[in-house]
């Protein structure tokens, strides 16, 4: 088994609301007023700008709407470095793979199993190391996929920073995300560029510290495609360096045994 490392850990800040991890399918399917996007409990409503909140609502609607986001059960994607994962938003189950290493874990109970070439290594130091890192892995990797759906999450302060241009010259509104007492790195800051014509996030910049003047990276957020009821973006290019998330899928049902498989599974479509 290759030594395990967590990579790239550049954006591990989000605390996903427990509503996304728990609750029955019936609770998930409760409909909201059309066009509404209720903030998560703990969202900094008082410290956030009304204009920024209104733009966040437009982003949610452009990507499918709040009900489509909440009612989508499974999300799957490949992350940089060869990690493939499937997240059950209803139960909190998380199936994660890297090469011949496989983990089946529950984000609520923080319990699971790790397999190397189909053999259970959960009780070994290497297996325990993987289990200890799976929640941070999920936080980081899922944020790279679904950040635009998390603009009004717990602990987030959302402010409007004015108008600007994306790397590709599109007119954009600039939102700033900062965090209070949440996540594994709450000192982070993000700038989110929302295309004024499409209401879609087209670029983001990551600042390791909220006081940093220059970002650690600035990347495109593009190449959108419909997955189930959601519009999700695969492109994460830097200015001159192509990069993307692959094997993106959204589903309501998956083949039996996928979330408990001891070996790598066929990629969801």
- Of 248, 249, 218, 250, nearest to 236 by C-alpha is 218
| Domain annotation for the chain: domains and CATH numbers | 40-260 (2.50.20)
Cβ within 8 Å of residue 58, ≥6 positions away: 194, 199
Among left, alpha and beta (phi > 0; psi -120 to 50; other), residue 74 is beta
Q: How far apart are CA 148 and CA 63, in angstroms?
A: 8
User: Can you give the pTM of this predicted structure?
Assistant: 0.88
- Of 10, 13, 6, nearest to 187 by C-alpha is 13
Q: What is the pLDDT along the chain (269 residues), one digit of tens a residue?
A: 333 344 344 443 444 433 344 343 444 444 555 566 899 999 999 999 999 999 999 999 999 999 999 999 999 999 987 999 999 999 999 999 999 999 999 999 999 999 999 999 999 999 999 999 999 999 999 999 999 999 999 999 999 999 999 999 999 999 999 998 765 556 889 999 999 999 999 999 999 999 999 999 999 999 999 999 999 999 999 988 999 999 999 999 999 999 999 999 999 99
């Amino acid at each position: 088994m290759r030594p395990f490392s967590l990579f790239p850990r550049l954006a591990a800040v989000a605390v996903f609301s427990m509503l996304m991890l728990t609750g029955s399918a019936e609770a998930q399917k409760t409909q909201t007023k059309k066009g509404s996007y209720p903030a998560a409990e703990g969202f900094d409503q008082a410290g956030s700008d009304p204009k920024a909140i209104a733009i966040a609502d437009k982003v949610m609607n452009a990507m499918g709407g709040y009900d489509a986001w909440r009612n989508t059960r499974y999300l799957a994607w490949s992350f940089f470095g060869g990690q493939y994962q499937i997240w059950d938003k209803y139960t909190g189950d998380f199936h994660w793979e890297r090469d011949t290493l496989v983990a089946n874990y529950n984000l609520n109970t923080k319990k699971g199993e790790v397999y190397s070439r189909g053999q259970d290594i959960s009780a070994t130091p290497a297996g325990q190391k993987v289990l200890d890192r799976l929640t941070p892995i999920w936080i980081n990797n899922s944020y790279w996929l679904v950040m635009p759906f998390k603009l009004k999450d717990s602990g987030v302060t959302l402010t409007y920073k004015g108008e600007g241009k994306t790397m590709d010259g599109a007119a954009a509104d600039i939102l700033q995300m900062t965090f209070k007492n949440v996540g594994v790195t709450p000192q982070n800051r993000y700038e989110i560029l929302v295309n004024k014509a499409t209401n879609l996030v087209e670029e983001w910049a990551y600042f390791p510290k909220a006081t940093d003047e220059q970002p650690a990276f600035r990347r495109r957020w593009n190449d959108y495609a419909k997955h189930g009821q959601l519009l999700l973006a695969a492109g994460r290019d830097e200015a001159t360096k192509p990069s993307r998330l692959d094997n993106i899928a959204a589903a309501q049902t998956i083949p039996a045994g996928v979330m408990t498989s001891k070996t790598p599974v066929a990629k969801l479509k």
